[in-house]
Amino acid sequence: MSVFEQPERVRNELIALLFKLVRSDHSIDQKEWAYILQVADSLGLKEEDVHEILSNKESYILHPPKSERERMTILYYLLFLMKIDGRIGQREKDLIREYGFKLGFRTSMTDEMILLIQDHAQKKFDPEMLLDKIRKYSN
C-alpha cells in the first residue's frame, strides 16, 4: 500500500508534518502553500481539509508506516518542501533529521540527503541523486 492509499489519518499526519516543517523558521510562503496543496491533492485531500489540518497540526502525531518505501516517500516530501523556497534554515535541517530518525532512517543518510538538497537549493535538481544516496545505505 502506498502513502496515497493509506487511511485518512496517515495522509493528514503527512500534511501536518509538512506544516510543522514550514512553520519551523517562518510563515508559509506562496510556493510552500502551493506545494502542500499539491501534495494534499495527490493524497485525495481537499483544500478545506488542508485548512483544518493547519488549524490543528499539533494534534497530529507521526505514526510511521511499516513500508520502507512509504517512509521514504514521506522523507522525500519533507526534503523537497525544505528546498522549495530556496532558504534552508538550521531548524528545518534539525526537524528533517529528527523526522528521518523517527521514520527509521540512519542519521548519516538523512544528513547526506539534507546536504545534497542544500547544495542544490537554488538549482535544478535531479531526484536520482537522492536515490544514489539511498542505494549507498541499502542492504
| Residue 121: Cβ-neighbour burial (10 angstroms; 0-12, 13-18, 19+) | middle
**Structure confidence by residue, pLDDT tens digits, 25-67:** 677 889 999 999 999 999 999 999 999 999 999 999 989 988 8
Whole-number Å distance between alpha carbons of 78 and 91: 13
Here the cell at position 21 is 516543517
Query: Residue 80's closest CA among 96, 69, 66?
Result: 96
Domain count of the fold of the chain: 1
Provide the whole-model pTM. 0.86
Query: Can you give the residue range of the structural domain that contains 130?
Result: 3-137
Whole-number Å distance between alpha carbons of 50 and 65: 21
Here the cell at position 12 is 493528514
Instruction: Name the average pLDDT for the chain.
Output: 88
* Angstrom distances, CA of residue 20 to CA of 56, 133, 135: 11, 25, 28
**Structure confidence by residue, pLDDT tens digits, 112-130:** 999 988 888 777 777 777 7
Contact 78, 96 (CB under 8 A): yes
Q: What confidence category does residue 107 fall into, taking pLDDT thresholds of 50, 70 and 90?
A: very high
Instruction: Say which CATH number the domain at 96 has.
Output: 1.10.3680
